[in-house]
């Protein structure tokens, strides 16, 4: 059985990638299992300068998921390149996907340019859809004209695959996808989190300090699946499917909808062995479903 995927001018040993923000910078998990079994790793969202993120509390649990308003806490792009990626390289032989956030067009360009020169980075995941960052973030991901202008401005500075992370918090995600493709991106990852909130019944106030945050987990899987299906219908660019994936069956379903790769997000927070167990179980599920090559099922539900 073949789990290899060839996409974005790279060969991945399997389609499984820990999603940005749920796996740190990767090396933190190396004590638990061999990271070299992963298809790749999407690094923690990185900005130009260091960010503390939003004030506490910034996590609220839901019945079938979790709301986070971390606010892109990270040490800044220079430190990620000089310290975090070298630490990861000691325990992981593969290349990584750099996740880039920003408040302004200039910040996005500067961070993308910095990662584009890093040999360990195979592509750039452009986060224009973060719902818990003031200014920038999701604002770029809700207006197709603004997204088009941003990507058009970044494209001349980036030679590596430029993958746009799309927000579900829009009227029609296909409009956003078409605008981004027209601007010159190389593919998409979707979906980012939905906007949600919880209220503390005793205090009668929102639990999260900034009131709202990004909701992720199994509850959003059907929404993510539908949006991957929709985007696949309007573009020939590769898609990384994200949203509520917690089993090998979910991976197959997401690939049938049109994803070439998948990212495992919130489930890493519940079970730190999530990616390892899903990769192991893929063999069983592929045999059960008579799938000899994962490449053959991409988009087969259409």
* Class of 5-54+71-195+216-297 in CATH: alpha beta
Per the CB < 8 A criterion, the answer to whether 150 and 108 are in contact is: yes
Label the pairing between strands 65-68 and 213-216: antiparallel
Query: Quick check: pTM over 0.85?
Result: yes
Label the pairing between strands 96-100 and 121-127: parallel
Known catalytic membership, residue 275 = no
Per the CB < 8 A criterion, the answer to whether 103 and 48 are in contact is: no
pLDDT for position 132: 43
CA of residue 73 relative to chain centroid, distance: 16
pLDDT for position 130: 53
pLDDT for position 141: 74
pLDDT for position 133: 44
Label the pairing between strands 59-62 and 213-216: unpaired
Per the CB < 8 A criterion, the answer to whether 2 and 292 are in contact is: yes
CA proximity to 186, closest of 147, 208, 159: 159
What are the domain boundaries of the chain? 5-54+71-195+216-297
Q: What is the pLDDT along the chain (302 residues), one digit of tens a residue?
A: 899 999 999 999 999 999 999 999 999 999 999 999 999 999 999 999 999 989 999 999 999 999 999 988 999 999 999 999 999 999 999 999 999 998 888 999 999 999 999 999 999 999 986 544 444 455 677 789 989 999 999 999 999 999 999 999 999 999 999 999 999 999 999 999 999 999 999 999 999 999 999 999 999 999 999 999 999 999 999 999 999 999 999 999 999 999 999 999 999 999 999 999 999 999 999 999 999 999 999 999 99
pLDDT for position 138: 54
Catalytic, out of 130, 180, 185, 275:
130
d(CA 293, CA 1): 6
């Amino acid at each position: 059985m073949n789990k290899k995927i060839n996409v974005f001018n790279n060969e991945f040993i399997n389609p499984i990638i820990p999603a940005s923000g749920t796996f740190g910078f990767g090396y933190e998990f190396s004590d638990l299992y061999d990271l070299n079994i992963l298809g790749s790793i999407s690094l923690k969202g990185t900005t130009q300068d260091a960010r503390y993120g939003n004030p506490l509390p910034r996590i609220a649990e839901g019945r079938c998921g979790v709301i986070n308003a971390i606010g892109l806490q990270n040490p800044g792009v220079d430190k990620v390149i000089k310290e975090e990626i070298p630490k990861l390289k000691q325990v992981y032989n593969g290349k990584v996907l750099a996740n880039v956030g920003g408040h302004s067009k200039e910040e996005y360009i500067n961070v993308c340019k910095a990662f584009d020169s890093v040999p360990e980075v195979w592509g750039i995941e452009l986060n224009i859809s973060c719902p818990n960052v003031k200014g920038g973030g999701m604002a770029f991901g809700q207006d197709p004209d603004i997204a088009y202008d941003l990507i058009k401005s970044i494209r001349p500075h980036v030679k590596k695959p430029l993958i746009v992370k799309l927000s579900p918090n829009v009227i029609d995600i296909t409009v956003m996808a078409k605008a981004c493709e027209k601007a010159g991106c190389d593919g998409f990852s979707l979906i980012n989190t939905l906007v949600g909130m919880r209220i503390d019944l005793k205090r009668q106030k929102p639990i999260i300090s900034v009131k709202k945050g990004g909701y992720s987990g199994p509850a959003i899987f059907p929404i993510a699946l539908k949006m991957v299906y929709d985007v696949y219908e309007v573009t020939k660019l590769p898609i990384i499917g994200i949203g509520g994936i917690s089993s090998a069956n979910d991976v197959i379903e997401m690939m049938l909808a049109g994803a070439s790769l998948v990212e495992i997000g919130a489930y890493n927070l519940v079970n730190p062995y999530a990616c390892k167990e899903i990769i192991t179980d893929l063999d069983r599920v592929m045999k059960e479903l008579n799938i000899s090559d994962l490449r053959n099922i991409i988009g087969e539900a259409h």
